[in-house]
Amino acid sequence: MSKNNQEPLDLEEVFPPEREVSITPLQRFVQNLEIIPLIILAIGLGMKYIGMTYSSEVLIIGGTTSAILYIAFSWLMFRVRKYKSLEVILSILCGLAFGAGIIVILFRLESWEKSEELLPIVITVMVGLLFASIGLFTFHLKDKRASLFYRNIISRLLIFTVLLLYFSRLYF
């Protein structure tokens, strides 16, 4: 491209290649906050397998807190500065799916009713969101901001889908 006919997005000053996407302090806090309820959930799971008392209560506290966190703050967890409308919709849907997935895992661990009916529905939703995210990721490979967003969503969807598939095999 000639120097006289450059477009703004072709200039290195607009998007330097080595620059990382910055995140706000609120996003960093929510990302770190995501780990705490999952650790509580893991501790409750360990307590349940050992046979300790109050393991159900620890599982319920960790699972419910994680589900509420994912549902309420799903749009803040992905390190993106400015969301596009499709990304907002996808992050909200993924947050709802993550919350539902954790609730289904909690239902399975506590042997509550309707867990057998909820599990295939949530797995189907997660796999659908996973394929949609992979498809959108392939269309946005050159956009560093969007590519980071879709990689974060795909990694979380893979983790939750594998966990749900594991719990579906474990208790059937």
- In the structure, what pLDDT confidence band is assigned to residue 4 with cuts at 50, 70 and 90? low
What one-character DSSP code corresponds to residue 6? -
Concatenate the DSSP letters of all residues of 50-117 into one string: HT-TTHHHHHHHHHHHHHHHHHHHGGGSS--SS--HHHHHHHHHHHHHHHHHHHHHHHHHHT-TTHHH
- In the structure, what pLDDT confidence band is assigned to residue 128 with cuts at 50, 70 and 90? very high
- In the structure, what pLDDT confidence band is assigned to residue 9 with cuts at 50, 70 and 90? very low
pLDDT per residue over 68-79, tens digit each?
888 877 766 655
Query: Taking residues 48-58, what's their average pLDDT?
Result: 89
Contact 170, 116 (CB under 8 A): no
State both tokens at 84. Answer: 């596009």
